[in-house]
Amino acid sequence: MLIDRRSFLAGTAALAAAYRTSPVHAQGPRILRIGMTATDIPQMTGSPDNGFEGYRFTGYTLFDALINWDLSSAEKASGLVPGLAESWEVNPADKTKWVFRLRRGVKFHDGSDFNADAVVWNYDKLYKRDAPQYDPRQVSLIGFRAPSVHAYRKIDEYTVEISTRVPDSFLPYQVCSILFASPRHWETLGRDWAKFHANPSGTGPFKLASFTPRQRAELVPNPDYWDPRRRPKVERVVLLPLPEPNARTAALLSGQVDWIEQPSPDALPRLRQGGMVITQNGYPHIWSYTLSFIEGSPWRDVRIRKAANLAVDRDGLVELLGGMAVPAKGHVMSASPWFGRPNFEIKYDKAAALRLMQEAGFGPNRPISTKILISASGSGQMLPLQMNEYIQQNLAEIGIRLEFIVVEWQALLDRWRAGARSDMVQGATAVNVSYATQDPFSGFTRFMRGNLHAPTGVNWGFYSDPEMEQLLDAAQNAFTLPELDAGIARVHEKMVNDALFLWVVHDVGPRAMTRRVKGFVQAQNWFQDIAPVTME
Amino acid sequence: MLTFLIRRILYVVPIAIGVTFFVFSLVHLAPGDPLSAVVAGDAPREVVDMLRAAYGFDQPMIVQYLRWVARALSGDLGRSLATGRPVAAEMFAAIGNSVLLAFLAAAIGFTLGAILGGIAGYAQSSWLDKLASLIAILGVSVPHYWLGMVLVILFSVNMNALPAIGIGPAGSAFWLWTRTDWSHAILPAVTLSVIPMGIVTRTVRATVAETLAMEFVQALKAKGLPGHAVLLHVVRNVAPVCLAVMGLQFGYLLGGSILVETVFSWPGTGFLLNDAIFRRDIPMLQGVILVLAMFFVLLNLLVDIVQTLVDPRIRRG
């Protein structure tokens, strides 16, 4: 029997209609399904893995920190807001001691009270090796995010004190990373963190409803959440790990999810054509080359560093990325309160770059050759091969010949940790690792301090400058927000004036979602708040 | 027969020891620190050392190997570096999903392959033979991840008829016998079936053609045996070779396909392996590769035994 074209199309349409109304596609009207880039549901112990995506979806949804990020605005850089601490202040007499006054009446999802004992118990989990709840895995995941914490103690039921070794105004940014898990629930589960991960209890705006490893986590609203403005509007959030970008795109276009993280630039026209909304905003991310300052590195000459920064056509790169990037003017975006007013303007100026190279004794006819460590992929690396090849062409035009040592992402991180003097880097004088500049320690201190040379820290290039040390000291001793911002801005100005990195672009965190998703505000932050989101 | 079986089973022992050695060595030969995937770049050195000791990576390689083998013999494949969950539990959940996909793909691929190959072998040099051979060549030549993406674009994105990702809408660890779960399996199973379909078609075609040219077939025809009875004799002679090829192909299918499972986010062993490779999750990699390799070894044993039952000449040899 032959089937004519009309019958075939009618049959196909009927089949499609049948499936559209099947349970695969007919999700409830207020269920938000999110396709993450992670390969698994991030840890739900209060110490998320999978980088900041873990914090975004199973960190700040299920848990709170003493201080939270303000994720309510897309227009301004995110600041800090009270979380489980209603207020905090440094002791004026001894600036190594901070007092945190805790929010009263907050309960964990299992009904137990959040109080000073819970704070101390959670800090013991990370800092007290003989505590039963101490977990090296959680320490490895988040302990490094709060290196200033030296000691802590309960003052009364709702007051705790956290101490630093030296006065350190960066501490509030670091305590944002420590999220609070329920001690009673952990005891109930037989003191087992693996069981806690499958059945967590925090204080966050969402609770975990169900969990299938590697496949799905379902979150439901916590109706008793302490901040009424952040009580979730959707009935349920379904988190799906979809690491393959094409699979995420297909899942969104076929109606299996409502929201995907990081669509690939190539897929954006198709997503727009399919009626999807693409959201983006600058956030504290930087794609750069970290430079080596050890003997023999060409980057020791500030003229060469400046020339390289002037030779990169960032607008062209942004075009290559489908518009999903912001040209870098420095380590942080120019709208950041930490940008300051550097004298050296980072832009594309090939003629100026050639002049600087000539002053340094080099140029297209007498080029410098140097090796750069890059990866073929990796978290936050965007399109590393294409971008590096683009930069390679730009720099070749002014007489800097780059030879790439391409390694796998984790191998690149090993070499990043090892430092420029290590044999592992095979003579490379720069490493292309992108990272967050969200807090002053991870954005500035760890790359600039002389006592954090690799492998102790990630001052990969062995940078050291007494003036920079003084600027960092001054920033760490600025205990009001305007002074702190100004202090970090001075650090940033020096970084840019000395062209300490080759800065290229900032990511804009693209997301694609259906038009049913409403109320999402993409904050200038690695984290986002999904509590206010509604589904039409 | 019993001696043959015992001898054949004993052969498995040195193969298994060799497999454990190679699996362990290959994974450890990869450059870099196994902890780098789970520890941040600037995690405190003492914490890294503590984790290294906790996972036994501070021990000499031979000690690590012997401990790993001893634990594996008792069914303990360690804990995943990336998730902290037991490797055995993660892997057996994934194997179930890959086995399901393998059965579906084998059913499609072997059935089509046997039919197409049989027709092509019987009707050599005819247009049917050329068509079947073309399909077989396409089957083995088309990259299946590409085919998977094309099928997704056609049936999921454009027609919205079949799901693009996942094992089922419930997100359950097990596949359920429901229409929606079936719909999730169709595209990955079809994608995965094209290579075995092509290989089986070509094998069956060549073997049928070769068998048909043998003298005993002429003798059977000369004796006046009807066509279907001759066919039965041909099938019996063709079966051992085809079984061996199907067994090998089924082994490949059981191993899961990294590419197909990744394209469809199908939570099988290929998906698990892909994740373990990128996160350099050594206990997971070792566990998955070991179990899949042993699967393969046992499957070969099974195929040998079945071949022997079908063709007594092998037993005598």
Q: What is the pLDDT tens value at each position of chain A, 536 positions in all?
A: 334 444 444 444 444 444 443 434 444 468 999 999 988 899 999 999 888 899 999 999 999 999 999 999 999 889 999 999 999 999 999 999 999 999 999 999 999 999 999 999 999 999 998 999 999 888 888 888 888 999 999 999 999 999 999 999 999 999 999 999 999 999 999 999 989 999 999 999 999 999 988 889 999 999 999 999 999 999 999 999 998 888 999 999 999 999 999 998 889 999 999 999 999 999 999 999 999 999 999 999 999 999 999 999 999 999 998 899 999 999 999 999 999 999 999 999 999 999 999 999 999 999 999 999 999 887 788 889 999 999 999 999 999 999 999 988 878 888 888 899 999 999 999 999 999 999 999 999 999 999 999 888 889 999 999 999 999 999 999 999 999 999 999 999 999 999 999 999 999 999 999 999 999 999 999 999 999 999 98
Backbone Cα Rg of chain B? 24
What integer pLDDT is reported at residue A371 of this predicted model? 97
Nearest CA in chain B to A411: B32
Judged by a CB distance cut-off of 8 A, whether residue B267 touches chain A is yes
What integer pLDDT is reported at residue B42 of this predicted model? 64
More confident of the two residues A524 and B35: A524
Tokens 């000459």 belong to A301
What integer pLDDT is reported at residue B254 of this predicted model? 77
Chain B residues close to A410, C-beta within 8 Å: 32, 36-37, 278-280
- Per the CB < 8 Å rule, is B162 touching A19? yes
What is the distance between the alpha carbons of residues A264 and A248, in angstroms, rounded to a whole number?
9
- Per the CB < 8 Å rule, is B51 touching A140? yes
Chain B residues close to A214, C-beta within 8 Å: 90, 267, 271-272, 275
More confident of the two residues B47 and A73: A73
- Per the CB < 8 Å rule, is A250 touching B165? yes
Nearest CA in chain B to A21: B161
- How do residues B235-264 score in pLDDT, each as one tens digit? 888 888 888 888 888 878 876 688 899 889
A152 by Cβ neighbours in 10 Å (0-12 / 13-18 / 19+) ranks as buried
Q: Which of A37, A47, A214 to substitute to test the interface with B, most B CBs within 10 Å?
A: A214
What is the distance between the alpha carbons of residues A83 and A65, in angstroms, rounded to a whole number?
6
What are the counts of helices (DSSP H) followed by strands (DSSP E) for chain A? 18, 22
What integer pLDDT is reported at residue A26 of this predicted model? 44
Judged by a CB distance cut-off of 8 A, whether residue B90 touches chain A is yes
| Predicted confidence band of residue B44 (pLDDT cuts 50, 70, 90) | low
- Per the CB < 8 Å rule, is B90 touching A456? no
What is the distance between the alpha carbons of residues A522 and A73, in angstroms, rounded to a whole number?
7
Nearest CA in chain A to B94: A214
What is the distance between the alpha carbons of residues B21 and B84, in angstroms, rounded to a whole number?
24
What integer pLDDT is reported at residue A25 of this predicted model? 45
Q: Is the dihedral of CA B213, B217, B219, B222 positive or negative?
A: negative
Beta-sheet pairing, A236-241 with A31-36: parallel
Judged by a CB distance cut-off of 8 A, whether residue B5 touches chain A is no
| Token pair listed for B33 | 């620190």
Element holding A386 (H helix, E strand): helix A384-396
ipTM over 0.85: no
What integer pLDDT is reported at residue A17 of this predicted model? 41
- The contacts of residue A509 (CB under 8 Å, 6+ apart) are A262, A280, A281, A283, A285, A522, A526
Q: Which of B50, B179, B267 minimises the CB distance to A214? A: B267
Strands (E), A243-306: 259-261, 277-279, 285-291
Q: Is the dihedral of CA A142, A145, A149, A150 positive or negative?
A: positive
- How do residues B15-33 score in pLDDT, each as one tens digit? 888 989 888 887 777 766 7
Q: How many CA atoms lie within 13 A of B52 on its CB side?
A: 15
Chain A residues close to B271, C-beta within 8 Å: 214
- How do residues B269-284 score in pLDDT, each as one tens digit? 888 888 888 888 888 9
More confident of the two residues B305 and B191: B191
Q: Answer whether residue B154 shows pLDDT above 50.
A: yes
- pLDDT, chain B, mean: 85
- Taking residues B188-194, what's their average pLDDT? 94
Q: Which of B41, B50, B152 minimises the CB distance to A413? A: B41
Q: Of A421, A422, A433, A427, which is closest to residue A375 (Cα–Cα)?
A: A433
Q: Of A66, A61, A60, A111, which is closest to residue A84 (Cα–Cα)?
A: A66
Q: What domains are defined for chain B? A: 2-73 (no CATH), 93-316 (1.10.3720.10)
Q: What is the pTM of this model?
A: 0.85
Q: Of A299, A381, A390, A288, which is closest to residue A331 (Cα–Cα)?
A: A288
Query: Residue A296 — left, alpha, or beta (φ > 0 → left; ψ -120 to 50 → alpha)?
Result: left
Q: How many CA atoms lie within 13 A of A362 on its CB side?
A: 22
- Per the CB < 8 Å rule, is A136 touching B172? no
What integer pLDDT is reported at residue A119 of this predicted model? 98
Q: Answer whether residue B316 shows pLDDT above 70.
A: no
What integer pLDDT is reported at residue A36 of this predicted model? 93
3-state DSSP call for residue B79? Answer: strand
Cβ–Cβ under 8 Å, residues A168 and A478: no
What integer pLDDT is reported at residue A508 of this predicted model? 94
Name the residue type at position A324: M
